[in-house]
Amino acid sequence: MKFRAKIVDAACLNHFTRVSTMIAKLAKTCTLRISPEKLNFVLSDRVASGGVSMWCELEQENFFSEFQMEGISAENNAIYLDLTAENLSRALKTAQNARALKIKLTNKHFPCLTVSIELLSVSSSSRVVTHDIPVKVIPRKLWKDLQEPTIPDSDVSIYLPVLKTMKSIVEKMKNISNHLIMEANLSGELNLKIETELVCITTHFKDLGNPPPASEDASQERPPEQMAEVHVDIRKLLQFLAGQQVNPTRAVCRQLKGSHTFHRGAGRLSARPPWSGAQDGPGAHLTGTENYLVSNKIVHFDLLHEDVSLQYFIPALS
Amino acid sequence: MKCLVTGGNVKVLGKAVHSLSRIGDELYLEPLEDGLSLRTVNSSRSAYACFLFAPLFFQQYQAATSGQEALRCKILMKSFLAVFRSLATVEKTVEKCCISLNGRSSCLVVQLHCKYGVRKTHNLSFQDCESLQAVFDPALCPHVLRAPARVLGEAVLPFPPALAEVTLGIGCGRRVILRSYQEEEADSTVKAMVTEMSIGEEDFQQLQAQEGVAITFCLKEFRGLLSFAESANLSLSVHFDAPGRTCHLPRPAIFAVKDSLLDGHFVLATLSESDLHSPALCSPELHRLAPPLQAHSTPHLDDFASDDIDSYMIAMETTADSEGSRAVPSIPLSPGLRPPCSPGPFSEDHEAEPSTEPGTPPPKKFRSLFFGSILAPVHSPPGPSPVLAEDSEGEG
């Protein structure tokens, strides 16, 4: 297994730093998937993350001037690493005035992602900062949980308003209730609502626009004025919005009809969204698994930050 | 005593107090013939800091009223810091600062003369105290490095503010290396990120140390002096002696700044095993002496079996000069203990307790080595006496 890559362009470096900072805000630990063409930051849902999952993808050639990797085998040419997202973000932030940044997979008593930064210096001498980020290599058998999600049909999909505006509204609502209702329709209207015994507050967004439907039938069936509603934990929504420092190039929100399958085995409960290829996960290896099928909705955020795509899934409150 | 500070020097004084506040909770103020000395020590006696402001730093400087002996006092750092809390405000509004102490009053009076005729008077209660004087001599340290504070400021920039300790050493090609130091916890599954900064020799004004030497000290405490040096645009020098070379027992590291009107010294204890164990460090001797990184948890016991684990504090003068200083070699912190940054219960009793079983980390209760009743010197102490180190085994 080998990986080495280099960034020499300042703009690419800043963009990559911004991506890593965003990931650090969205997840404490996540999986970095390295393949010949792409880099992915993956958070597959676990009870620990409250059922939230994420798939972030970037094309490596948009960032790296040099990129070489060798997966664990020729057929499985990928590397999956678990790391603490904040470490990568912190390491990249020290590369403010870097001449060059190199990342490579190393083994210094334990596997590390070594980020080596050559700084521009006033004097003739060079200064080098090295960060050894400890990583855990994920074995091949667990890769199926970390594949790209397939998006099922959605009730409604809508373009989002400026995320900063949305965030400041949701932040204020958080003080009143943890339970947020998101309503959207095919006329470009989005409502954020909280209801308590004493008060009900709704913020209405209009003229947002809707992305073209996936299939012709879906659009004809549904009356455009009809609102589709989903209930989410406001803190999860806020964490997602807080991670977006810059307004994305494009932001779409979909309400998905999901089905969560809960596997219970050996006391571990895991909920699975419609991830492709995730039919049998770790839970299935254990004897005596019980399956509970719960039909539930999922809110899917599909963002594009220049050339980096981010998909974020928040399960609805049952 | 009466001192008057004017103009930009008020801010310098304030900055010095801020630096000292990073170390200890009590400020020892002593007017000497050489100038006004402000000193502090941390509760575990593993860090000592002092600033000496020469008489020329002041518009007016009177150490003692004639006929009276110079007064020494110990004030709560918090109280003194409150006078200079906001340096920005101090810089903008304070025109003069007058510090006075007379035998009759029980207060140290700090009066700030500000713009528009505003006068702020702080009456700080104090305690009489002995002279706080650490025993150290930069000249005894074989290794020195000196650089403008800006260089060192940039060097510590990649390290997180929360990082406790850092290892400083000389690597291959005479590069100065700073690396984050993590105490290995045997049961921790989550390893911490290791950050290393490497600077070329050319950035240093003086570099007198061989490749392979390294010391580990508390970064948080060092930042106190560094921020002062950066604001005053001074050079900072580091004097140290790494274990295993010329001395068996590690000595504290001395960080110093100096200009014509003031000098400052921070003396910080160092950890016993400092190991820049990396490909960058190519000295084979260091590898032999330092325990390998994997077996981190076990070798401590062996290293400590022969060390005097009782005396791990910075050596302090305990008696008046005539009796000779009962200086104890400054010894490192036991790695089993949480280092300088954690306060330990402080006992003024300088009776040595029987040493604990060798091989076990010393008890958390730190003892002070230096308070006894000291006869008040009539004249200012003649400067720090050399550290009397016990004979290095086999090298004496």
Separation between Cα atoms, residue A45 and residue B147, nearest integer Å: 50
For residues B257 and B173, membership in a common domain is answered with yes
Task: Report if residue B261 sits inside a domain.
Answer: yes
Residues B209 and B265 in one domain: yes
**Which residue of chain B comes nearest to A122, CA vs CA?**
B203
B81 and B178 belong to one structural domain: no
B115 and B152 within one domain: no
Residues B89 and B50 placed together within one structural domain of the fold: yes
Closest CB to A126 among B160, B200, B294? B200
Verify that B208 and B86 share a domain, yes or no.
no
Domain total of chain B: 2
- Does pLDDT of B268 surpass 60? yes
Q: So what's the pLDDT on residue B58?
A: 95
Instruction: Answer whether residue B254 shows pLDDT above 60.
Output: yes
B306 domain residue, yes or no = no
Q: What is the pLDDT of residue B277?
A: 53
What pLDDT does A81 receive?
Answer: 94
Instruction: Return the residue in A132, A135, A136, A137 with the most chain B beta carbons within 10 A, the one to mutate for interface testing.
Output: A132
Q: What is the pLDDT of residues B90-131, one digit of tens each?
A: 999 999 999 998 767 778 999 999 999 999 999 999 888 888
Is position B69 within any domain?
Answer: yes
The pLDDT value given to residue B128: 82
Residue B128: its H or E element: strand B127-128
CA A66 to chain centre: 25
pLDDT of B55 reads: 94
Share the mean pLDDT of chain B: 73
From chain B, the residues in CB contact with A125 under 8 A are: 199-203
B24 part of a folded domain: yes
Q: B63, B31 in Cβ contact below 8 A?
A: yes
Tell me if B153 is assigned to some domain. Answer: yes
B110 and B156 in a single domain? The answer is: no
Q: Which tokens is A256 given?
A: 């998905």
Last residue of a domain, one of B275, B308, B328: B275
Does residue B355 belong to any structural domain of this protein?
Answer: no
Q: Write the residue in A123, A125, A131 that is nearest to B193 by C-beta.
A: A131
Predicted confidence (pLDDT) per residue in B336-388, tens digit: 333 333 332 222 333 333 333 444 443 332 222 222 223 333 333 444 444 45
Domain span including residue B59:
2-128
Q: Select from B254, B275, B296 the last residue of a domain.
A: B275
Residues B29 and B106 in one domain: yes
Does the pLDDT at position B184 exceed 90? no
Q: Specify whether B124 is located in the same domain as B198.
A: no
- Longest CA–CA span in chain B (Å) reads 69
Q: Looking at residue B243, what is its pLDDT?
A: 66
Give whichever of A205-219, B134-148, B367-381 has the largest mean pLDDT.
Answer: B134-148
Give the closest-approach CA distance of A129 to chain B in angstroms.
4
pLDDT tens column, A148-182: 888 877 888 999 999 999 999 999 999 999 999 99
Report pLDDT for A149.
85
Answer yes or no: is pLDDT of A224 > 90. Answer: no
- Of the candidates B158, B160, B190, the beta carbon closest to that of A129 is on B158
Q: What is the DSSP string of chain A?
A: -EEEEEE--HHHHHHHHHHHHHHHHH-SEEEEEE-SSEEEEEE---GGGTT-EEEEEEEGGGT-SEEEEE-SSSTT--EEEEEEHHHHHHHHHTTTTEEEEEEEEEESSSEEEEEEEEEP-SSSS-EEEEEEEE-EEPPGGGGGGGSPBPP--EEEEEE---HHHHHHHHHHHHTT-SEEEEEE-TTS-EEEEEE-SS-EEEEEE-----PPPSSHHHHHHS-TTPPEEEEEEHHHHHHHHHT--S--SEEEEEEEEEEEEEEEETTEEEEE-SBTT-SS-GGGGSTT-EEEEEEEEEEEEEEEETTEEEEEEEEPP-
Mean pLDDT of the region A186-190: 92
Q: B242, B275, B308 — which closes off a domain?
A: B275
Query: With contacts defined as CB-CB under 8 Å, which chain A residues touch B200?
Result: 123, 125-127
| pLDDT at residue B322 is higher than 50 | no
- Residue B249 lies inside a defined structural domain of this protein: yes
Strand, coil or helix: B57: helix
Chain B residue with Cα closest to A111: B191
Please name every residue paired with A7 in a beta bridge, in sequence order, or none if there are none: A101
Residue B34 is given by DSSP the state T
Asked if residue B312 belongs to a domain, the reply is no
Average pLDDT (A247-257) is: 87
More confident residue, A262 or A36: A36
Residues B15 and B124 in one domain: yes
pLDDT band at A121 (very low <50, low <70, confident <90, very high): confident
A121 CB neighbours in chain B (<8 A) are 203
**ipTM score here?**
0.80
Query: CATH number for the domain including B35?
Result: 3.70.10.10
Summarised one tens digit per residue, pLDDT across range B197-220 is 999 998 999 999 988 888 999 999
Mean pLDDT of A136-150: 89
For residue B396 the two structure tokens come to 């004496």
Same domain, B155 and B89: no
Q: Which pTM value belongs to this model?
A: 0.74
Q: What pLDDT, on the 0 to 100 scale, is given for residue B191?
A: 81
Considering only CB atoms, which chain A residues are within 8 Å of B193? Answer: 84, 87, 90-91, 131-134
Q: What is the pLDDT of residue A153?
A: 77
- Note whether B89 and B151 are same-domain residues: no
